[in-house]
Amino acid sequence: MSDEISPAGKSSDRATSPDLRASHADRDRVVEVLRVAAGDGRLTSDELDERLETALSARTLSELTALTTDLPPVAASGGAVVAEVKDVLRIERRFSPVKRVGRWVVPRRLELATEFSEVTLDFTEAVITQDTLQIDMDMQGKNLILITKPGIVVDTDALNLAFSKIKIRHAPDPDMPITLRVELVGKKSFGRVVVRHPRKRAARRLLGKPARRPAD
pLDDT per residue rounded down to tens, the chain (216 residues):
444 444 444 444 444 555 788 888 888 888 888 887 877 778 888 888 899 889 999 998 888 889 988 987 665 444 444 456 788 999 999 999 999 988 888 999 999 999 999 999 999 988 888 899 999 999 999 999 999 998 899 999 999 999 999 999 888 778 888 889 999 999 999 999 999 999 865 545 444 555 555 554
CA distances from 11 to 14, 29, 107, 128, 208 (A): 6, 10, 21, 17, 24
Q: Which helix (H) or strand (E) covers residue 36, if one does?
A: helix 24-39
Q: Which residue, 17, 48, 79, sits at the end of a domain?
A: 79
- Within 8 A by CB and 6+ apart from 115, the residues are 93, 94, 95, 140, 141
Residues 113 and 68 placed together within one structural domain of the fold: no
Claim to verify: residue 124 and residue 188 sit in the same structural domain: yes
Q: What pLDDT was estimated at residue 11?
A: 43
pLDDT at site 200: 65
User: What's residue 193's pLDDT?
Assistant: 97
Are 140 and 115 within 8 A, CB to CB? yes
Q: Is residue 135 part of a domain?
A: yes
Residue 10 and residue 108 share a domain = no
Same domain, 54 and 101: no
Q: Look up the domain containing 178 and give its range.
A: 88-203
Residues 141 and 198 in one domain: yes
Structural domain count of the chain: 2
Asked if 92 and 190 sit in the same domain, the reply is yes
State the Cα angle at 53 between 103 and 28, rounded to 5°: 30
Whether 89 and 68 have beta carbons less than 8 Å apart is answered as no
**End-of-domain residue from the set 44, 79, 114:** 79
Give domain status of residue 197, yes or no.
yes
Q: Give me the sign of the Cα torsion angle 84, 176, 196, 166.
A: negative
> Which of 48, 79, 110 is at the close of a domain?
79
- 54 and 93, same domain (yes or no): no
